Amino acid sequence: MFPRGYSSKSIKLILDLKGKPVSSEECVMAIQNTLNELRNICPQISTAYIFKPDKTVLAQDKDANKSDVASTVDKLCMLIKHARVGGGLEFFRVDSLGYCATVTRLGSVYFAMVHSRALDDKVLCGITRGIVPIVLKLVELIQPELMYATPQIFEDFPSEKAQMDSKERSSSEVVGSEKNVDCTSFSESVVSQLTVENLNGISRLVGSQDNVRVDPAIINQWVTLGGQKEIIKVEVEEIQSGKKIVCNFKPIKDVAFYGKAVIQLSEKIQTTLQTKRGAAVLVRPIIK
């Protein structure tokens, strides 16, 4: 049974799954309710929110100030980008006299919480390693695109980008014959966050191991944004490590993946990028 104090709304949403499809709004509401209930159960928690590395706030508790959360998330995302030098941010904690703030990576999203130091460590661990990850996992099963960001086009951090460029160039890895490709990104700011799927079946046997397959809906978006220019390759970047490859691409043939913001990668490319099925990657189109 569900523990005492657990949000009835959250439970209802979970139980409704078999009856009808749950929309992304309902999923977000379930996460928000969970955060609100956490605050009810643990009054030591003053703020709780979940965000993605692209600065999107997925959910926040009902009392959190939106502008404060947005400005903090902005800085947190900068920190996440800087933390690539250490292999990607897993956990961040700030301790002051009476309060502390923690940020924990939970898959492709981050869970931030401000609480008093009176909060028991076991309770804290139960929240960050138990309750919230379970809720997020359920949401991921229902609405995977919600967790890994629906195909969004967002701007990179301009000042930070210049700083990271030299490092990224040195750490970038190019697969097979793609070395020294003379091509430019048609727009540095056009980036799609996609979910990794395995390239399997006939596609894996027929196609080259150095090719990737991209959701046709995303390709259409790129073509529209690029003014019908020909996209010759894509650059795939692993979010945590910052590792990149440039490779040829084809649209996904399996209709089950249409509009799902998915990229199919071969085992070889997954190994090179140090990523796996279900993880999020950034994909940039490149034109002639």
Partner 1 sequence: MTKKKLEESASIVVECCPEETITFDAVHEILKDICSFVGVQGYIIKDEDTATINLEDSEKTVPYAMLVSQAFELAKELSQVSCLGEGDTLLLDCADLKVLCVKVNDVTVSIFMEKNVDHTKILNKLLSYTERLQF
Burial class (CB in 10 A: 0-12, 13-18, 19+), 141: exposed
From residue 20 to residue 59, the character string flagging contacts with partner 1 as x (rule: CB under 8 A) and all else as - is --------------------------xx------------
Nearer to partner 1, 87 or 126 (CB): 87
Distance CA 200, CA 190 (A): 28
Distance CA 22, CA 12 (A): 11
Residue among 44, 47, 43, 8 at smallest CA distance from 29: 8
| Residue ranges in 228-267 that form contacts with partner 1 under rule CB under 8 A | 240-241
Cα angle 7, 62, 71; round to 5: 135
Nearer to partner 1, 116 or 177 (CB): 116
From residue 185 to residue 224, the character string flagging contacts with partner 1 as x (rule: CB under 8 A) and all else as - is ----------------------------------------
3-state secondary structure of 50: strand
Sign of CA dihedral 48, 70, 191, 221: positive
Among the listed ranges 11-19, 34-42, 89-97, 246-254, the one in contact with partner 1 (CB under 8 A) is 89-97
Min CB(262)–partner 1 separation in Å: 24
Distance CA 11, CA 30 (A): 9
50 strand-pairing partners: 59, 111
The yes or no reply on residue 92 touching partner 1 (CB under 8 A) is: yes
From residue 150 to residue 189, the character string flagging contacts with partner 1 as x (rule: CB under 8 A) and all else as - is -------------x---x----------------------
Residue among 25, 51, 32, 280 at smallest CA distance from 135: 32
Min CB(207)–partner 1 separation in Å: 31
Q: Quick one: which of 8, 23, 40, 65 contacts partner 1 (CB under 8 A)?
A: 65
Please count the residues of this chain forming the interface with partner 1, following the rule CB under 8 A. 34
What are the phi and psi torsion angles at 54 (to 5°)? -95, 20
Give the interface with partner 1 as residue ranges (CB under 8 A): 46-47, 65, 68, 71-72, 75-76, 78-79, 82-83, 85-101, 114, 163, 167, 240-241
